[in-house]
């Protein structure tokens, strides 16, 4: 995929603030700190388009990015950060579920799992939920540079079994550009208008 342009469009904290449903969208979901923003930057070939952070759980906004004037990338707020108060958690659920259940232009949801760990209960719930709403998804296992070479295949297999999905997730590392094309190849068909 050649990226000609990638720009931040807007942050939404309510459904009313979502942009009009005009272009196909790919959303990115996962626990906070799993590497969502990093993966978006990596796919778009930009170092800092999306802010990444070492302090998880802060953003409860849905961020829209316009790419090549043809499609949107949507950075969903992360879940699973223990220190988030119940009221914030409830708001997250409301906003993200409103987005995932109703959005007509949403084509695929990339669910990111940390390659070092087993998927969490919330990861599995989100996947169940996507299935229920018949949302196509792609599972990406992040931070594979933190694994020993020999561990990668084994961990990807474990994640596959844990989530009961048909094929192993695509491994990704922000340190290497190797998996970028593989991920793009899988996303490409979904953004064709």
Ligand X SMILES: Nc1nc2c(ncn2[C@@H]2O[C@H](COP(=O)(O)OP(=O)(O)O)[C@@H](O)[C@H]2O)c(=O)[nH]1
**Which residue among 6, 29, 35, 37 contacts Mg ion (CB under 5 A)?**
37
Number of residues that bind ligand X (CB under 6 A): 20
d(CA 130, CA 29): 11
| Interface of this chain with ligand X, residues 106 to 165, rule: CB under 6 A | 142-143, 145-146
Work out whether 78 is an interface residue with ligand X (CB under 6 A): yes
Would you say 52 or 60 has its CB closer to ligand X?
52
- Count of all residues that appear for the chain in the document: 193
Q: Is 82 in the site for ligand X (CB under 6 A)?
A: no
Cα of first residue to Cα of last residue in the chain, in angstroms, is 15
The smaller minimum CB distance to ligand X, of residues 34 and 70, is found at: 34
Residue 155 contact, options ligand X, Mg ion, none, Cβ 5-8 Å cut-off depending on partner type: none
Q: What are the φ and ψ backbone dihedral angles of 144, each rounded to 5 degrees?
A: -70, -15
Q: Does 56 bind ligand X (CB under 6 A)?
A: yes
| 175 binding ligand X? (CB under 6 A) | yes
**SS3 at position 151:** helix
Place of tokens 């799992």: 113
Query: Which strand ranges, in their side-by-side order, compose the sheet holding 62-67?
Result: 6-12, 62-67, 71-75, 25-30, 106-114, 137-142, 170-171
Does 53 interact with ligand X (rule: CB under 6 A)? yes
By C-alpha distance, which of 33, 27, 25, 67 is closest to 51? 33
| Half-sphere exposure in the Cβ direction for 104 (13 Å, CA) | 5
Q: Does 54 participate in binding ligand X (rule CB under 6 A)?
A: yes
**In the complex, least distance from residue 186 CB atom to ligand X, rounded to whole angstroms:** 18
**Interface contacts to Mg ion, rule CB under 5 A:** 36-37
**Interface contacts to ligand X, rule CB under 6 A:** 30, 32-38, 52-54, 56, 78, 142-143, 145-146, 173-175
């Amino acid at each position: 995929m050649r990226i000609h342009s990638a720009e931040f469009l807007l942050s939404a904290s309510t459904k009313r603030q979502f942009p009009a449903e005009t272009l196909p969208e790919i959303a990115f979901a996962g626990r906070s700190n799993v590497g969502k923003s990093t993966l978006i930057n990596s796919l778009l070939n930009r170092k800092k388009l999306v802010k990444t952070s070492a302090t998880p759980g802060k953003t409860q906004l849905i961020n829209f990015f316009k790419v090549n004037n043809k499609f949107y990338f949507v950075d969903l707020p992360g879940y699973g950060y223990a220190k988030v108060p119940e009221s914030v958690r409830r708001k997250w659920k409301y906003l993200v579920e409103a987005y995932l259940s109703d959005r007509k232009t949403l084509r695929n949801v990339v669910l990111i799992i940390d390659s070092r760990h087993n998927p969490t209960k919330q990861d599995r719930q989100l996947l169940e939920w996507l299935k229920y709403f018949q949302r196509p998804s792609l599972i990406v296992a992040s931070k594979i540079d933190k694994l020993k070479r020999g561990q990668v295949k084994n961990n990807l297999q474990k994640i596959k079994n844990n989530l009961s999905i048909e094929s192993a997730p695509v491994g990704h590392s922000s340190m290497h550009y190797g998996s970028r094309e593989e991920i793009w190849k899988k996303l490409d068909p979904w953004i064709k208008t």
